[in-house]
Amino acid sequence: MRNRLNPPKARPNPLLATGIEYIDYKDTDLLRRFVSDRGKIRSRRVTRLTVQQQRAVARAVKNARETALLPYASGTTR
């Protein structure tokens, strides 16, 4: 439960803080920040994006995977 006396600090939106307006599937450095080390797209709760931005990031990651700019999964599985 949250402590009502000490609310959590608001973290800034990572895209607005860096001034990025358009999410491009070819910008793999940006997209890697939103993909876990296992290759999963991070959730909105973790990334602190808006709904529209999260949809755009998910679409861009999927397009980048399809064009082989990002891997579907990383590393070896055991």
Q: Coil, strand, or helix at residue 59? A: helix
Residue 9 in any domain: the answer is no
- CATH number reported for the structural domain that contains residue 30 in this entry: 4.10.640.10
User: What pTM did the predictor assign?
Assistant: 0.81
> How does pLDDT run across 11-48, given as a tens digit for each residue?
888 888 888 889 999 999 999 999 999 999 999 999 99
CA distances from 13 to 18, 28, 53, 55, 70 (A): 9, 19, 10, 15, 23
Is it the case that residue 78 has pLDDT exceeding 60? yes
Residue 7 in any domain: the answer is no
Number of domains in the chain: 1
Distance between CA atoms of residues 15 and 62, nearest Å: 19
> How does pLDDT run across 39-69, given as a tens digit for each residue?
999 999 999 999 999 999 999 999 999 999 9
Distance between CA atoms of residues 27 and 18, nearest Å: 14
